[in-house]
Amino acid sequence: MKATFPLFILIIAFLVGCEKTEKIEDFPKTAPKMALNCIMIPDSGITVIIYKSLSILDNAPNKVLNQATLELFKDGVSVGKLEAANHFSYYYFPDIKPEPGHEYKLTASLKGFETITAASDIPSKAEITNLSTIVRDTSSWGWVYGTNYFFSTGKLILGLKDDHETENYYRLSMYMLDTTYSFNEYGDTVDTFIYRNSLQDYNNESSNPMIEFTEGESYYFSDQYLNGKEFTIELPIRYSGSTPGDSLFIELSAISMDLYLFKKSMIKYNDSQSNPFSEPIKIYTNIENGYGIFAGSSIITKRIRYN
Amino acid sequence: MQVFIKSLLICFSFFSVVMVSAQSYTISGYIKDSTSSEALPGANIFEKISLKGTASNAYGFFSITLPAGNHLLRFSYTGYSTKFEEISLSGNMNITILLKPAITLQQVDITASGSELLEQSARMSSISLPVQQMKSLPAFMGETDILKSLQLLPGVQSGTEGSSALYVRGGGPDQNLILLDDAPVYNAGHLLGFFSIFNADAIKNVELIKGGFPARYGGRLSSVVDIRMKEGNMKKLNVEGSLGLISSKLMVEGPILKEKTSFIITGRRTYIDYLAQPIVRGVTTEYNKNGLFFYDLNAKVNHVISAKDRLYLSVYSGKDEYYNDVLPSEYLYDGVIYKEQSKSSLSWGNLTSSAKWNHQINEKTFGNLAFTYSNYNFTVKDFQESIVVTDTSTSSKMYSIRYLSGIRDFALKADIDYMPSPSHFIKFGMLSTFHTFQPGVNTISIEESTTNISDSTSGSKAIEALETGLYFEDDYQLNERIKANFGLHYSSFLVEKKYYHSLQPRASVRYLLPGDWIAKGSYASMQQNIHLLTNSSIGLPTDLWVPSTAAIKPQKSKQFAAGISRTFRRNYLVSLEGYYKWMNQIIEYTEGASYLNSNANWEEKVTVGKGNSYGMEILLQKKEGNTKGWIGYTLSWSNRTFPEINYGETFPYKFDRRHDISIVLMQKIDDKWDFSAEWVYGTGNAVTLATIKFPGPDGWEIQTFDKRNSYRAADYHRLDVSFTRTKETRWGTSSWNLGMYNVYNRKNPFYYYFGVDSRGSKALKRVSLFQMIPSVSYTFRFSIPKNK
């Protein structure tokens, strides 16, 4: 079907031979607001960055607002206040470690802007009941540019016990640590880098109906149909890399609903950038009177053998 | 179902009692055009003494039962001379009334009479626009367009610049039931919707119903456009043709057996592809051949089997095609001969046909049985072939890809018209349609040196559905002041083991007010079992018809309308109507989706929501005379609410148009010259544009907006004019038409995008499509034998 796209462009080009394009001078400017970004993680300090939103036709560079007054509340009680950014361009609450099961609220005020408010809870860590892998086949591609490449496919089996009292949203990443090399003009290795080699099987990524969307190496899903139940999710693995790949890492994050909706809108937004026919996407925000995201995420990292 | 049948039986019992009256006889027959013997649908029959009246049905048949004795019957039809017949009734009579087309104002009966108000139908929100009037309106590039003419009526809005799509009372383009001789038309646009598929030369009658739908219609929420093809002249051969800037057309009609069998055949083809060839060659290579064209053909045969039986066969076939071929080429490199060629095309078209049998069952009952076929398909083809010839071997590789989507219907329809007394006009019947939906299939074939062949087919599977409708309605004259049309429409839809059904009540009432004013009110409940997946801004042939499924339920609507109207001297009409419409279970692409996301099932790309629309329409019309025309004004609101769009907040529909004005003037200057002009104005469409930007958590810039459809495009307005000079020649009639579209060169918005200006700064830009466009066309017509 994508083959029709260039044809349409040709047709439209054919038809609009007499078209006229004009610059619109009176497009209304939007009043600037604060755009706040903060993802809270348990056992870490809270880092917040605030930008000034710009009207779409504004050619000014993005500007960080570092003179705002921030106040942080935990379950309705004030737990911290900052008069200005205290860590480079960031507002940093080093002593406040978000705890799962609590609601955090942040207000930010700055002269010339509407005061913004945002609230989010910190989800409890996911409860893993089973974690295993099945390797289907392994093979070696042989030596390519002095490196032996390995290939394998398999399956990850993850058992979860969902908390029935809350709506739960999850992000799952799986990867292997792999090494990449850089060479000089003589073909000698001059440096090596360790990187996260995603195991996502892009050919089969939508084969699991529970997965609502993906982003890079991450799968996103919710307990929409399995609230409070113990369930198993199976995901295909596709690996190709320079090491045989014995250990597999997973990161399972319980994320707040706001982060889930924000990510979902961002994925659609990024996908739509190359498609002029796509429907417009409104980026999700939970910032009252402003833009951005204020959300929480609790991560579990596990390493298992893969062979 | 049982309830429906019981209701039907009770109604019959009731009317049987009503119709029992002493010494009453029935006058029945057909009302026809005296010059062609074509039936005149909707002609009025009025008895001047008893003040009883009725109207002819869609096939020109009428029946009126009156007491024995002398009667003065008046037969009238818009654009025709009124005829009076004195009848001494002493038994049932069967007569044929021939009405003459009115050439001048004086020939049209414009005598004022309060009693004529009694003829006024109970139905409202319905307009019949004579095709001859449509032909005299200024036409885009000289092409008379029936759907664009309907856009000039209040309550009907155009979409984007140049589009022939109809947006009726806040509904979408999928919510219009467009019928061509009872066969549904699923894509009524040529050239991406810039022209409609209907050739005005083949059309006899067009009726638009915006609300107060009679029970016989079902299956769409917002409107019915009932188009009837001409039947063909029974008396003489007529030839009419025209040559225009982009297309030419020819119509031939006449008797096969005089007064027994007639035919009509029309054809139209554009020649943009030939005209544009020099330009295309200038920007492509000598090996390229590409172009764009459309054609359509209409044909109909009408046969009188007996005084009581008629047979109609009609066919429409039309196609649009864009092609881009790389002609076969051959070159030699390093002792090897390479041969290459490729062909790609994109085509879409409708094929509709209907076979109808009319039978006059008795003096009071008329039956029609119709079998219709309708097929719309959209095809993309891409074919590439390469051959490599060496001294010792020849190898070839052939690659072809084909994408097909569409919808195909077979339908059987039976209608009975029963006129037991002048107070009742009962209609009942059924319609059963077998749909096959093809939401998109890819076929890829690769063949290498004839030894290695691979074929694969992928995409959505075809879905079959059975849609059935039963209806009963009565046009009931309660007393001199009150007339009502009430009915029930039962609809069922069986798809993939899922069964949807609904009972849809319909009612409209007319009340005669003092001072010759008429008040009308109506209620209609509608259900639409099929949906159109359409892109948000332009009507593409890729728009996909899909059925309701287990996940996507049928769309539903309820509409109330009320209004008053008054006709002065049978020539001037003033009408004011208000309406409120609720729509439920309507679908829309989800945020970020489009038809290009071909790897997703269509059900995953849509979301279900609701909408409402309300407004007020004013029509001031002068129907006859040397100066004709109308002023239409619509004040309206149309909103949509989808839980998954705009985060559940209600937003304006993209064609929410607060003000819509049409002013149409048709002026006969003298015997040779005619002038017409139209001015249209509409509030700008609601558009979604990014309004703000800021960096996201990863530092990349996000461009978004606060509310969907919150930006208003510039208001739309333009003036079109046309002059026609008609000359009687010794062989017939010829006429030249000179037209100008968008006389004052208004740059109306087609779409907006963000680009950069001359200083390299980001800027919003508006693209306008059609500015001032002149047109010229030549039309000729003659008859054999020649008109006297």
What CATH number is attached to the domain comprising A80? 2.60.40
Do B441 and B505 share a structural domain? yes
Where among A75, A97, A121 does a domain terminate?
A121
The per-residue pLDDT for A136 is 76
**How many residue pairs from chains A and B have C-beta atoms closer than 8 A?**
179
Q: Across the interface, do A20 and B589 touch by the CB < 8 Å criterion?
A: no
Chain A residues in contact with B752 by the CB 8 A cut-off are 24
Residue B88 contacts by C-beta under 8 Å, 6 or more apart in sequence? Answer: B69, B70, B71
Question: Given CB atoms, is A293 within the 8 Å cutoff of chain B?
Answer: yes
Is A292 inside a domain boundary?
no
Is A160 inside a domain boundary?
yes
Residue type, B467: E
Model confidence over B732-778: pLDDT tens digits? 999 999 999 999 999 999 888 888 888 888 889 988 888 888 889 99
Is A179 inside a domain boundary?
yes
Do B143 and B58 share a structural domain? no
Question: Given CB atoms, is A278 within the 8 Å cutoff of chain B?
Answer: yes
Do B225 and B93 share a structural domain? no
Is B3 inside a domain boundary?
no
Q: Which of B536, B693, B747 sits opposite A20 (nearest CB)?
A: B747
The per-residue pLDDT for B787 is 64
Do B448 and B347 share a structural domain? yes
Do A166 and A77 share a structural domain? no
The per-residue pLDDT for B600 is 64
Do A135 and A107 share a structural domain? no
Do B489 and B449 share a structural domain? yes
Look at chain B and report how many structural domains it folds into: 2
The per-residue pLDDT for A70 is 95
Do A235 and A93 share a structural domain? no
Check: CB of residue B180 under 8 Å from CB of residue B350.
no
Do A109 and A244 share a structural domain? no
Q: Across the interface, do B765 and A21 touch by the CB < 8 Å criterion?
A: yes
Is A287 inside a domain boundary?
no
Do A68 and A200 share a structural domain? no
Q: Which of A14, A18, A280 sits opposite B591 (nearest CB)?
A: A280
Other Cβ atoms closer than 10 A to B239: 15
Task: Give the max Cα distance, chain A.
Answer: 66
Chain A residues in contact with B595 by the CB 8 A cut-off are 1, 277
Distance from CA of A37 to the nearest CA of B (A): 5
Distance from CA of B653 to the nearest CA of A (A): 14
The per-residue pLDDT for B284 is 61
Do A260 and A180 share a structural domain? yes
Do A179 and A157 share a structural domain? yes
Is A102 inside a domain boundary?
yes
At B408, list the tokens.
């195909």
Residue B1 contacts by C-beta under 8 Å, 6 or more apart in sequence? Answer: B490
Residues of chain B with pLDDT under 70: 1-22, 103-120, 275-287, 450-459, 535-540, 595-600, 787-788
Do A176 and A229 share a structural domain? yes
Do A172 and A80 share a structural domain? no
Phi-psi category of residue B742: left, alpha or beta, with phi > 0 → left and psi -120 to 50 → alpha: left
How would you classify the pairing of strands B686-687 and B711-712?
Answer: antiparallel
CATH number of the domain that B54 lies in?
Answer: 2.60.40.1120
The per-residue pLDDT for A203 is 64
Q: Across the interface, do B704 and A283 touch by the CB < 8 Å criterion?
A: yes
Whole-number Cα distances in Å, A256 to A100, A127, A283: 11, 16, 16
Residues of chain A with pLDDT under 50: 1-3, 5-7, 14
The per-residue pLDDT for B114 is 46
- CA pair distance B312, B38, nearest whole angstrom: 12
Write out the residue range of the structural domain in which residue B66 sits.
24-109
Phi-psi category of residue B216: left, alpha or beta, with phi > 0 → left and psi -120 to 50 → alpha: alpha
Do B136 and B92 share a structural domain? no
The per-residue pLDDT for B625 is 85
Do B175 and B95 share a structural domain? no
Selected for mutation to probe chain A from B599, B650, B694, B754 (highest A CB count within 10 Å) is B694
Q: Which SS3 state, helix, strand or coil, does residue A264 take?
A: helix
CA-CA-CA-CA dihedral for A107, A110, A115, A119, to nearest 10: -20
Q: Across the interface, do B694 and A291 touch by the CB < 8 Å criterion?
A: yes
Chain A residues in contact with B591 by the CB 8 A cut-off are 265, 268, 279-282
Do A221 and A149 share a structural domain? yes
Do A215 and A143 share a structural domain? yes
* ipTM of the complex as predicted: 0.86
- CA pair distance B498, B463, nearest whole angstrom: 12
The chain B residue lying nearest A20, using CA atoms, is B768
Whole-number Cα distances in Å, A163 to A21, A167, A199, A261: 56, 8, 28, 20
Do B177 and B68 share a structural domain? no
Is B10 inside a domain boundary?
no
Write out the residue range of the structural domain in which residue A88 sits.
34-121
The per-residue pLDDT for B251 is 96
Is A17 inside a domain boundary?
no
Question: Given CB atoms, is A51 within the 8 Å cutoff of chain B?
Answer: yes
Lay out the sheet containing B83-89: strands in order across. Answer: B52-55, B44-47, B69-76, B83-89
CB hemisphere CA count around B713 (13 angstroms): 30
Is B53 inside a domain boundary?
yes
Q: Across the interface, do B591 and A23 touch by the CB < 8 Å criterion?
A: no
Do A90 and A134 share a structural domain? no
Look at chain A and report how many structural domains it folds into: 2
The chain A residue lying nearest B441, using CA atoms, is A1
Do B147 and B71 share a structural domain? no
Where among A121, A143, A166 does a domain terminate?
A121
- CA pair distance B231, A150, nearest whole angstrom: 75
The chain A residue lying nearest B646, using CA atoms, is A282
- CA pair distance B676, B695, nearest whole angstrom: 56
Cis peptide before A236 (omega within 30 of 0): no
Question: Given CB atoms, is A31 within the 8 Å cutoff of chain B?
Answer: no
Task: Give the max Cα distance, chain B.
Answer: 103
Is A244 inside a domain boundary?
yes
Is A6 inside a domain boundary?
no
The per-residue pLDDT for B533 is 82
DSSP state of B624: S
DSSP E strand boundaries for chain A: 20-23, 34-40, 46-52, 54-55, 63-64, 69-74, 77-82, 91-93, 103-109, 116-121, 127-144, 147-161, 169-183, 189-198, 211-215, 218-222, 230-241, 247-255, 291-305
Do B176 and B96 share a structural domain? no
The chain B residue lying nearest A39, using CA atoms, is B697
Question: Given CB atoms, is A284 within the 8 Å cutoff of chain B?
Answer: yes
The per-residue pLDDT for B20 is 43
The per-residue pLDDT for B550 is 86
Residue of B225, B203, B204 lying closest to B213 (CA atoms): B225
The per-residue pLDDT for B80 is 87
Is B115 inside a domain boundary?
no
Sign, Cα dihedral of B226, B227, B228, B233:
positive
Is B166 inside a domain boundary?
yes
Is B757 inside a domain boundary?
yes
Q: Which of A27, A282, A283 sits opposite B708 (nearest CB)?
A: A282
Model confidence over A248-266: pLDDT tens digits? 889 999 999 999 999 999 9
Is B707 inside a domain boundary?
yes
Do B142 and B68 share a structural domain? no
CATH number of the domain that B659 lies in?
Answer: 2.40.170.20
Residue of B165, B173, B216, B163 lying closest to B586 (CA atoms): B173
Where among A87, A121, A155 does a domain terminate?
A121
Question: Given CB atoms, is A26 within the 8 Å cutoff of chain B?
Answer: no
Question: Given CB atoms, is A37 within the 8 Å cutoff of chain B?
Answer: yes
Which residue in this structure is represented by tokens 């409609």?
B196
